[in-house]
């Protein structure tokens, strides 16, 4: 029997049947099971792609949220999700919630499987709310088929730091009003397809000069910027009915936040619950990130987060560490350090979200449907081309044509993929696996009498000053510019904001700071060459 789907917005009233299920479920959970409901851990699998003993033990012990499995095909992941959900129910518990970072589709978590969608920066480059909605809805439809009921996206941070070290292609990269509009469109798209959306990273991470994966960012933000820039997209997200909000590991001393926001009652309870009136799920960013993990062990961090007002402590520890973290949380309740009534309220919100998303029953595994998403699939939206930018001063004037053999110059996987996709379009292309320096470009230009070189540059995110200089120097050698079809640059920047290379320039937000690649941007860049 298909799971029933309701309106996912937190403000939508729960039906009498739904409220009875919530009350009955909450009433039969033990203290340990309620604490377990409020934790997220990482799953693990045996060599045949089934849950291992530690994961089974966690879900049978009451685990509420399981982060996405990785490196499995879509159909194997779907079977895995169905198996762990059934194990929860067999133990008399709600089926474990399956969540993950799906900001570029299921492949962002699973690997080379399913459809690659554009990163948020590509959507920001398009500026198209309808496109934003279509991407989110289609991604959610695919994810839901495979058992996901909750995505930890979209990222609605407004990037105001020129040397942003963490967001890059994972943010829309536009101003607060445009971020608000695109983020709200994606929230509606995800949730119209039955997957809970998450606006992150509250109260804004776009003005951080430090990567919170590595250390705790201290942000000197004025109250005006806080209210008018960084909170604006979250207000819009709440108005759009976002089911959950993720809180960041940042400190804001000027605003009275001297501890990580994720562990701050001022941020969780004061700002989110009381000032913004938000009644959906609050989840922390990963507590394994060094911004928190360098200061607290996992159990302590979980207690601090729940005590501050989070509904879900995103511990994200391996499954075999779950018992120790759970024992720490239960011990804190028994010692009076964490209120059981607050725990009950958090679990009730989680159960309400389950009911709305039809996650009160185990995921149904349909092998015939799930296997459709096993191979990498093309996102072929009619507006795909708009998700990359081309220099207006130097547009592509020599598009790809039959009869010319194109040399793609680059020593990265991105360059290899560009080569493959040009060939897929029916043009001749070969890879020159060298860095596109002045020397390599000059040598290649000397061998051609027509535009046939396609340098692919994958700089740091953000691009350093040295990398900007090298980009222009590489094409400054006499004879090089006339041989270049276009320079393709992996970047969150608009093409017109980069140095003039003397050649047509295309920027594509294809690779993030974790070296995750979305084929959607690479295909859009090749579109720009045709």
pLDDT of residue 4: 63
Name 455's bridge partners.
409
Rg (CA), the chain: 24
Q: Return the structure tokens found at 246.
A: 């993720």
231 and 179 belong to one structural domain: yes
Domain assignment present for residue 287? The answer is yes
Q: Which residue has the tokens 């939508």?
A: 12
Domain that holds residue 448: 388-529
**Which pLDDT tens digit goes with each residue over 513-525?**
888 889 999 999 9
Q: Among the three residues 307, 342, 369, which one is the final residue of a domain in this structure?
A: 369
Task: Report the relative pairing of strands 198-202 and 244-247 from DSSP bridges.
Answer: parallel
158 and 264 belong to one structural domain: yes
DSSP label at residue 311: S
Ramachandran sector of residue 358 (left: φ over 0; alpha: ψ -120 to 50; beta: rest): left
Q: Among the three residues 304, 338, 369, which one is the final residue of a domain in this structure?
A: 369
Q: Please, which pLDDT band fits residue 3 given cuts at 50, 70 and 90?
A: low
Question: Is 381 an annotated catalytic residue?
Answer: no
136 and 283 belong to one structural domain: yes
Domain assignment present for residue 9? The answer is no
Domain assignment present for residue 112? The answer is yes
169 and 306 belong to one structural domain: yes
Do residues 368 and 13 lie in contact, with contact meaning Cβ atoms separated by under 8 Å? Answer: no
438 and 338 belong to one structural domain: no
CB atoms near residue 130 (< 10 Å): 11
The closest alpha carbon to 117, from 99, 131, 97, 98, belongs to 131
Residue 507 phi/psi, 5° resolution? -105, 135
Report the distance separating Cα 68 and Cα 43, nearest Å.
7
Find the length of the chain: 530
Residues ≥6 apart with Cβ < 8 Å to 344: 26, 34
pLDDT of residue 6: 79
Do residues 282 and 271 lie in contact, with contact meaning Cβ atoms separated by under 8 Å? Answer: no
188 and 75 belong to one structural domain: yes
Please tell me the total count of domains within the chain: 2
DSSP label at residue 44: -
Q: What is the mean pLDDT of residues 199-218?
A: 84
- Biggest CA-to-CA distance, the chain: 79
Q: List b or e across 86-105, with b for residues whose CB sees 16 or more CB atoms inside 10 angstroms.
A: bbbeeeebbbbbbbbbbbbb
pLDDT of residue 464: 85
Q: Which residue has the tokens 């609605």?
A: 156
Q: What is the mean pLDDT of residues 236-254?
A: 97
Q: Among the three residues 315, 338, 369, which one is the final residue of a domain in this structure?
A: 369
Q: What is the mean pLDDT of residues 3-28?
A: 90
Residues ≥6 apart with Cβ < 8 Å to 522: 414, 417, 418, 421, 508, 510
CB atoms near residue 1 (< 10 Å): 5
Here the CATH number for the domain that contains residue 427 is 3.40.50
* Catalytic entry in 128, 207, 285, 360: 285
Q: Please, which pLDDT band fits residue 5 given cuts at 50, 70 and 90?
A: low
58 and 196 belong to one structural domain: yes
Report the distance separating Cα 210 and Cα 205, nearest Å.
10
Here the CATH number for the domain that contains residue 52 is 3.20.20.300
394 and 421 belong to one structural domain: yes
Do residues 199 and 232 lie in contact, with contact meaning Cβ atoms separated by under 8 Å? Answer: no
308 and 411 belong to one structural domain: no
260 and 128 belong to one structural domain: yes
Beta strands in 203-271 (DSSP E): 244-247
Kindly state the percentage of the chain with pLDDT values over 90: 84
pLDDT of residue 112: 87
Report the distance separating Cα 132 and Cα 124, nearest Å.
9
Q: What is the mean pLDDT of residues 124-146?
A: 97
Question: Is 285 an annotated catalytic residue?
Answer: yes
348 and 478 belong to one structural domain: no
The closest alpha carbon to 451, from 417, 426, 427, belongs to 427
Report the distance separating Cα 325 and Cα 297, nearest Å.
9
Q: List b or e across 436-463, with b for residues whose CB sees 16 or more CB atoms inside 10 angstroms.
A: beeebbbebbeebeebbbbbbbbbebbb
**Which pLDDT tens digit goes with each residue over 275-324?**
999 999 999 999 998 879 899 999 999 999 999 999 999 999 999 999 99
Domain assignment present for residue 509? The answer is yes
DSSP label at residue 266: I
Report the distance separating Cα 505 and Cα 236, nearest Å.
35
Domain assignment present for residue 382? The answer is no
Residues ≥6 apart with Cβ < 8 Å to 90: 60
* Catalytic entry in 211, 213, 411, 527: 213
294 and 397 belong to one structural domain: no
Report the distance separating Cα 280 and Cα 377, nearest Å.
33
Residue 46 buriedness (CB in 10 A; 0-12 / 13-18 / 19+)? exposed
Q: Which residue has the tokens 């795909």?
A: 384
The closest alpha carbon to 407, from 417, 396, 419, 398, belongs to 419
Report the distance separating Cα 299 and Cα 297, nearest Å.
6
Q: Please, which pLDDT band fits residue 450 given cuts at 50, 70 and 90?
A: very high
Domain assignment present for residue 92? The answer is yes
Report the distance separating Cα 228 and Cα 249, nearest Å.
21
Domain assignment present for residue 312? The answer is yes
Domain assignment present for residue 26? The answer is yes
Q: What's this model's pTM, rounded to 2 decimal places?
A: 0.95
Q: What is the mean pLDDT of residues 497-519?
A: 92
Q: Flag whether pLDDT at 215 surpasses 80.
A: no
Kindly state the percentage of the chain with pLDDT values over 70: 98
Residue 265 buriedness (CB in 10 A; 0-12 / 13-18 / 19+)? middle
Q: What is the SS3 assignment for 486-529?
A: CEEEECCCCHHHCCCCCCCEEEECCECCCCCECHHHHHHHHHHH
């Amino acid at each position: 029997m298909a799971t029933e789907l309701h309106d996912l917005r937190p403000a939508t009233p729960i039906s009498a049947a739904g409220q009875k299920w919530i009350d009955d479920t909450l009433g039969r959970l033990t203290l340990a099971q309620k604490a377990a409901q409020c934790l997220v851990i990482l799953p693990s699998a045996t060599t045949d792609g089934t849950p291992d003993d530690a994961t089974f033990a966690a879900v049978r012990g009451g685990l509420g949220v399981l982060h996405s499995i990785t490196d499995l095909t879509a159909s194997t992941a779907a079977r895995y999700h169905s198996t762990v959900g059934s194990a929860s129910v067999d133990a008399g518990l709600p089926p474990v919630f399956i969540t993950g970072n799906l900001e570029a589709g299921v492949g962002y978590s699973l690997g080379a499987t399913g459809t690659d969608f554009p990163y948020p920066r590509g959507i920001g480059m398009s500026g198209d709310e309808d496109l934003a909605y279509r991407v989110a809805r289609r991604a959610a439809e695919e994810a839901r088929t495979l058992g996901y009921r909750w995505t930890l996206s979209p990222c609605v941070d407004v990037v105001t730091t020129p040397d942003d070290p963490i967001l890059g292609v994972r943010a829309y990269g536009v101003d607060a009003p445009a971020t608000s509009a695109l983020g709200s469109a994606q929230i509606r798209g995800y949730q119209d397809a039955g997957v809970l959306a998450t606006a992150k990273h509250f109260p804004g991470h776009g003005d951080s000069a430090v990567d919170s994966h590595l250390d705790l960012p201290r942000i000197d933000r004025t109250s005006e910027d806080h209210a008018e820039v960084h909170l604006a997209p979250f207000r819009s997200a709440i108005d759009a009915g976002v089911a959950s909000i993720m809180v960041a590991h940042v400190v804001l001393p000027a605003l009275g936040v001297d501890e990580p926001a994720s562990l701050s009652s001022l941020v969780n309870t004061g700002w989110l619950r009381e000032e913004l009136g938000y009644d959906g799920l609050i989840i922390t960013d990963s507590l394994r990130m060094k911004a928190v993990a360098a200061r607290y062990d996992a159990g302590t961090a979980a207690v601090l987060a729940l005590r501050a007002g989070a509904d879900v402590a995103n511990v994200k520890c391996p499954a075999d560490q779950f018992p120790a973290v759970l024992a720490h949380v239960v011990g804190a309740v028994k010692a009076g350090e964490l209120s059981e009534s607050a725990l009950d309220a958090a679990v009730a919100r989680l159960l309400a979200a389950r009911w709305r998303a039809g996650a009160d029953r185990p995921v149904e595994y349909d092998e015939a449907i799930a296997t459709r998403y096993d191979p990498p699939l093309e996102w072929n939206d009619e507006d795909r081309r708009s998700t990359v930018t081309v220099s207006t001063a130097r547009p592509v004037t020599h598009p790809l044509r039959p009869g010319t053999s194109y040399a793609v110059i680059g020593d990265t996987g991105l360059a290899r993929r560009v080569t493959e996709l040009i060939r897929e379009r029916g043009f001749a292309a070969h890879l020159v696996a060298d860095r596109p320096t002045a020397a390599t470009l000059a040598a290649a230009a000397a061998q051609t009498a027509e535009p046939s070189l396609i340098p692919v540059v994958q700089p740091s995110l953000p691009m350093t000053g040295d990398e900007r200089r090298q980009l222009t120097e590489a094409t400054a050698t006499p004879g090089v510019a006339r041989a270049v079809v276009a320079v393709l640059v992996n970047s969150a920047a608009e093409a017109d904001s980069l140095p003039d290379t003397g050649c047509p320039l295309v920027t594509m937000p294809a690779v993030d700071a974790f070296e995750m690649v979305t084929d959607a941007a690479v295909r859009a860049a090749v579109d720009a060459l045709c």
